[in-house]
Amino acid sequence: MIIGILKETTKNEFRVSANVETVKKLIKLNHQVIIEKDSGLNSSITDEEYINAGAKVKNSSKEIFDESNLILKVNPLSEKELDTIKNNTICISFFQIKDQINNINLYLNKNLTLLSMSHIPRTTLAQKMDALSSQSNIAGYKAVIIGSNHIQTYMPLLMTAAGTIQPAKVLILGAGVAGLSAIATAKRLGAQVFAFDVRAVVKEQVESLGAKFIEVETDTDEGTGEGGYAKEVSEDYKKKQGELLEQEITKMDLVITTALIPERPAPILITKKMVESMKHGSTIMDLAASNGGNCEFTKADEIINHNGVIIDGYCNLPSTMAFHASQLYAKNIYNLIEHIYQEETLNFEEEITQGSTLIHNGKIMNDLMKKMTNKDS
């Protein structure tokens, strides 16, 4: 196949879908690789490095679309790109169905095949392709680094001649990949770390990283859904959760929220009342901002100051570490290609192919996409 790498056009997107290492590996699999000029510059990869790895650099995205059988991207194709792409092309990128509803017909009309890095199954075999996890790991780390810059306190305990400085108190809401990364980073910086999650099963992981797990007293683990993801909880649980967080949040210097439900708006965990009870100078880093946010005040890609409390809603923290984020994403996408294209055709009996393929030759393969678009095709 001829594999095309496009320069990302989304605002604040600095990642690229292939690096020097994966270009070499793709060529070893007998693929040709063509790359749009300057695609890797924001990830500190020059065109010369790509050329030395065996790729050919093209001057425009149109050349990439005209010559490629397979297009690799970080973000979904834009409407303009979908107008340009030739029929029967295969596309691999992140893809949230709810955010792309208006563009789905463009994929269908051109008989495109779409594999989504957002829909890789959560299985042992698929771990090396799990781009959501690799990028969430970065987001959790960077949220602590940026959050520690917002607050007006030290993170670690300090004993000085002028007196003892107590460590910052950090609360992580959601103990998935991003949350666990945030916990580990905050602990390394010396903070006193607390964590909450609706899934009681993550308590052991939280405590193994040195954080205190705060939990709602309940007889069932109702927050654990399919694939280990969090799911919607009952109104009774939400009430108890709110009461618990109201007590804890007043003590915190930094709160990092990571709660997401796949293909659903993010749940509100931090209410107006909670924010107004927080200490002046404290900070909320909302990693769910792109899905509406876990805090009532969150605005996507904005920093809000409400009565002295900072709410940071930056939506693409992995992109702020573009070199390593691209390195990991490129490996994820290479591992997917290596796995599913061992033969000439896609094998839909195989769970990774089945899970990640949303559209095949203009036909919707994903049940949720069929439901959300009211299509049976």
List active site positions: 122, 127, 130, 133, 229
Q: Is 145 exposed, middle or buried (0-12, 13-18, 19+ CB in 10 A)?
A: middle
Pairs from 114-117 (Cβ < 8 Å, separation ≥ 24): 114/90, 114/357, 114/358, 114/359, 115/90, 115/91, 115/336, 115/340, 115/356, 115/357, 115/358, 116/92, 116/356, 116/357, 116/358, 117/92, 117/93, 117/329, 117/332, 117/333, 117/336, 117/356
- Pairing of β 357-360 and β 363-364: antiparallel
Residue 75, CB half-sphere, CA atoms under 13 Å: how many? 18
Q: What is the DSSP string of 205-261?
A: HHHHTTPEEE----SS-TTB-GGG-B----HHHHHHHHHHHHHHHTT-SEEEE----
Residues in Cβ contact with 377 at an 8 Å cutoff, skipping those fewer than 6 apart? 108, 363, 364, 370
Work out whether strand 309-312 and strand 303-306 pair parallel, antiparallel, or are unpaired.
antiparallel
Q: Are 233 and 200 in contact (CB under 8 A)?
A: no
What whole-number distance in Å separates Cα of residue 45 and Cα of residue 60? 18
